[in-house]
Amino acid sequence: MLALFGASFGFVEAAVVVYLRTAAGVFGNYSSTISRLQTSSTAYQQAVSSLAQFPQSLRTIEAFREAATMIMLVTVALLAGAKARERWGAFLWAFAAWDLTYYAGLWAILRWPTSLKDYDVLFLLPVPWVAQVWFPLLMSALTLLIVAFSRTENTCMRVHE
């Protein structure tokens, strides 16, 4: 259920990012359909690499959106587990599913990233974090594997006790 929550929320986040950047005009004179935007991944890359294009009011909204995202993921994790370790695992699991689906959503909507070497603004809080797309994808995939392995290991230990 956590993966389903994370995945569906990841797509919502991708859609919101597209809407905010379109509203900010960072895609240029975009006024037709998303399909037009898909043909120009260069426009999206420029938008990602230049936070200065965002009006301060939208940067503020973006920062609050990020904070709300973390609060939602933490809240779901707190509800999902009874112990701190379970809650931490639930947060990591939901976060990784959210992150992977976020990039899958951006690719489905915009056909971006065009390469795993494309740069993205990962977070704005507390300061902007920028990295190539392969990095958060790798970290999220590894997180899913580690959490799944830890859970399997703990389940096996309980069976033998």
Q: What pLDDT tens digit does each residue of the chain (161 aa) get? A: 888 999 999 999 888 888 877 776 665 444 444 455 455 555 555 555 566 667 788 788 888 888 999 999 999 999 999 999 999 999 999 999 999 999 999 888 888 888 898 888 888 888 778 888 999 999 999 999 999 998 765 554 444 44
Q: Is the peptide bond before 55 cis (omega within 30 degrees of 0)?
A: no
Length of the chain: 161
Long-range contacts from 21-26, C-beta under 8 angstroms, 24+ separation? 21/47, 23/58, 24/53, 24/54, 24/55, 24/58, 25/53, 26/50, 26/53, 26/54
The C-alpha atoms of residue 71 and residue 54 are separated, in whole angstroms, by 24
- Number of other residues whose CB lies within 10 A of the CB of residue 118: 16
Q: Helix, strand, or coil here: 151?
A: helix
The C-alpha atoms of residue 73 and residue 90 are separated, in whole angstroms, by 9
What pTM was computed for the model? 0.77
Strand partners of residue 131: 120
